[in-house]
Amino acid sequence: MHPPVRLVAIDMDGTLLPSTLLPNYEQAVSRRNRQALRVAQQAGITVAIATGRRMAYTLPLLEGLGLRADTPLLTSNGAVIRTLDGQLIDRCHMEARVARGLLGLLRPFGAVVFTFDRPGRAELVLEDLEQAHGRIALWVESNRNAMEVIKPLELALIDGEDPIQGMVAGYVSRMKEAERTLKASEWSSSCECVRTEYPARDVSILDLLPHGVSKGWALKDLAGRLGVGSSETMAIGDNWNDVDMLEWAGQAVIMGNATRELRTMARKRGWKQAPSNDEDGVAVVLEAAMKKHPVAKETIS
């Protein structure tokens, strides 16, 4: 029997967000999911959003949901932890020399982008906009105002100007090859590498993070600050970059729309499975959890 949930970390794309795009190519949190998030907060559960998105790319999707200003956001796959109102909790950087090494290694595999924790243009730097647009067009269009093209990209990675995250995007098979190449290289011990896959579109993103950083690391960090144990923590996700936080949380939930490989892993590890993101799976899980929560029972009634 699990203790009542005191902290829940929820992935965004493929988990909290539906698959359907709005006319502006964005997505919107469903009414049922919004309600479940608010009721959970009212019951005293800390709701954290854990996403591979950077802060500025996350905030517009959370506007108008009625979430508390101190809602924790674990962004850039855990490299930056801030509250919804912008208060910095923790942040990790990748050394510029490591970023340069990774760029030289992975440039042949696809479009390489580095993220800096700074506002405005040049928050995202890359050297081939057309190459990136060809594989991740919607992402490029949504982030165009924050992008700066720099050739060669090494010029943006000078000592003292350390990014928080890098990524390389391309075909699923190509990114698996890139991941194997990285793990066999001298740089494997200097960074973390997590893969996100969208098989239906044959698109994969390889996220490059500071050594030791992941959504799981950030969730553990946040839980420690809140005095919450892993057994009191729930994590909900759908992709490979969620695995670390699912493994750390005592109450792990995989979405029904996750790949077959991930759902098989979930069964072997005893994780629960939620309905898909298009069936309000997050709300279904939170509603069930809150029925066991002493304060939530009063809130729901």
- Sheet containing 111-115: order of strands: 147-149, 124-126, 111-115, 165-170, 203-210, 191-198
State the pairing for strand pair 111-115/88-91. Answer: unpaired
The tokens describing 166, both together, are 């890098």
| CATH number of the structural domain 96-210 | 3.30.1240.10
pLDDT digits (tens, 9 = 90+) for 260-289: 999 999 999 999 999 999 999 999 999 999
The CA distance from 226 to 291, in Å, is 23
Q: Please give the pLDDT value at position 128.
A: 80
CA distances 163 to 6, 13, 116, 141, 218, Å, are 32, 23, 5, 21, 17
Low-confidence ranges of the chain (pLDDT < 50): 23-25, 297-301
- 199 preceded by cis ω (within 30°)? no
pLDDT for position 150? 94
pLDDT at 22 (0 to 100): 54
pLDDT tens by residue, 250-264: 999 999 999 999 999
**Are the beta carbons of 182 and 207 closer than 8 angstroms?**
no
Q: Is 185 exposed, middle or buried (0-12, 13-18, 19+ CB in 10 A)?
A: middle
Q: What is the pLDDT of residue 224?
A: 98
pLDDT at 104: 96
The domain segmentation of the chain, as residue ranges, is 7-91+214-300, 96-210
pLDDT at res. 201: 83
Which pLDDT belongs to residue 299? 44
Q: Which CATH number fits domain 7-91+214-300: 3.30.450.30, 3.40.50.1000, 3.40.50.720, 3.40.50.970?
A: 3.40.50.1000
| pTM flag (> 0.85) | yes
- Contact at 8 Å (CB) between 206 and 167? yes
Q: ∠ CA 225-48-239 to the nearest 5 degrees?
A: 120
Give the list of residues 6+ apart from residue 121 with CB closer than 8 angstroms, or none. 145, 146, 147, 148
96-210 shares the fold of 7-91+214-300: no
- Cα separations in angstroms, 217 against 9, 12, 21, 78, 80: 12, 17, 31, 7, 11
